Amino acid sequence: MDFENGIGSDPEIQKAMQDELKRQREGLEMIPSENFTSMAVLEAMGSILTNKYSEGYPGKRYYGGNQYIDVIEKAAQERAKKLFGVPYANVQPYSGSPANLAIYLAVCKPGDTIMGMNLTDGGHLTHGWKTSETGMMFNSIPYHVKADGLIDVEEARKLAAEHKPKLIWIGATAYTRPLPFKEFAEIAEQCGAYLVADISHVSGLVVAGAHESPVNYVHIIMTTTHKTLRGPRGAMIMVTEKGMKKDPELGEKVDKVIFPGMQGGPHNHTTAGIAVALKEAATPQFKAYGNQIVKNSRALAEQLKKNGIKLVTDGTDNHMVLIDLTPFGKGLGVFVQDALDQAGITVNKNTIPKEPASAFYPSGIRLGTPALTTRGMKEPEMREVGDLISQVIQETMKILPNKVLPDDKEARQAAIRAFKEQLPSNAKFKELKARVLVLCNRFPLYPKL
């Protein structure tokens, strides 16, 4: 084996990686759950740490040769505990979904009643949605948002009183306002439930002081590490002081579920990347970054509204903006997503509250500002981006023959294909893509790569 060969020894994969770097550099990455890590995190992720098996926990491994891995994992644990103000942290979960499943298995039994936000209202699959294993394994009672798009706290209170859930989730994947931790703490207290905050989307904002922390209200916190926290693709489970008072063995239960219950050896290169990201998140620069994310998101929302674009909750208080396309028609998210992609703006189609179409062909678009803020963009650029997005939407509506996605499956696929085929030759999208490139070139990404 030639240890000196780099990725250049595999031209096919090397080219795909170079093409992806070019795509990231030359486009506006606006999916709220995506971000750009630092070079330090990238170096940790692409390191020799991936070579080592480390089943177990620091000081209690099933393999030898883990003395330096223990240093790294202990550092990640201690940094997480200090940053979030908790007594316990497990940094081994491979990602958010298995981390959430581990939390269920630590405090619930199959068939127990659980509560979480309805998926199409902005919740997450793993909070009990019917097609998720979490919705099949447990008796899931979803709560919803009101007509104004805000969480219906009173409905949640009534449902909890009626069904007495063992676990309640407070957290979302498509919600633009502050999460009501205090109100849900009262609800959980009244029915004796474990309250779990899934702050995957807003954990970086929590650290920066741009979103209230759940630490004084909930028993368990789960966060992924790659969104606003700007780390590698991983996750952490943390138990609060309140959680330890409810069950002093809660941390040990989580540990046992992660290993040996669900996972084998941790991904040590990811653990190192998490440790690096947590150190970065403890700096004054990161606090300024987190607050700028919110400023940018609000500036983007205001510009979209000025251009006549309807927003869920009529604005935002976090990193995310949700566009409601129903004034143009139902189920149009797929068309606008493809059109924006053609213009060099990466977003994702998304359901809106009271979705009139479906989760697969929704009527909304989800936008986020974390990655653009990482590049150094501020409010003036967000206003420019808002104009670009508005023009893409307007041009999309001009070229759509009908403003409704067909209900028939074959007709629907034909309409989507026909729309995609005309995108590359559209003069307006070419013009907008050129403007996007000019904007991106003003804020270089990974210049040393």
Q: How far apart are CA 290 and CA 300, in angstroms?
A: 16
Q: Any idea what DSSP says for residue 32? A: T
Task: Report whether 319 contacts 369 (CB < 8 A).
Answer: yes
Single out the residue of 352, 327, 436, 340 nearest to residue 396, CA to CA.
340
Question: How far separated are the first and last CA of the chain, in Å rounded?
Answer: 26
Both tokens of 134, joined, read: 């979490």
Single out the residue of 233, 117, 231 nearest to residue 177, CA to CA.
117
Task: Report whether 327 contacts 9 (CB < 8 A).
Answer: no
- Taking the C-alpha atoms of 218, 167, 91 and 57 in order, what is their torsion angle to the nearest 10 degrees? 120
Active site residues: 53, 55, 198, 224, 227, 233
- Output the furthest CA–CA distance in the chain (Å, rounded): 65
Work out the number of other CB atoms within 10 angstroms of the CB of residue 153.
16
Give me the helices (H) in 375-446, please.
Answer: 379-399, 409-422, 427-441
Task: Report whether 368 contacts 297 (CB < 8 A).
Answer: yes
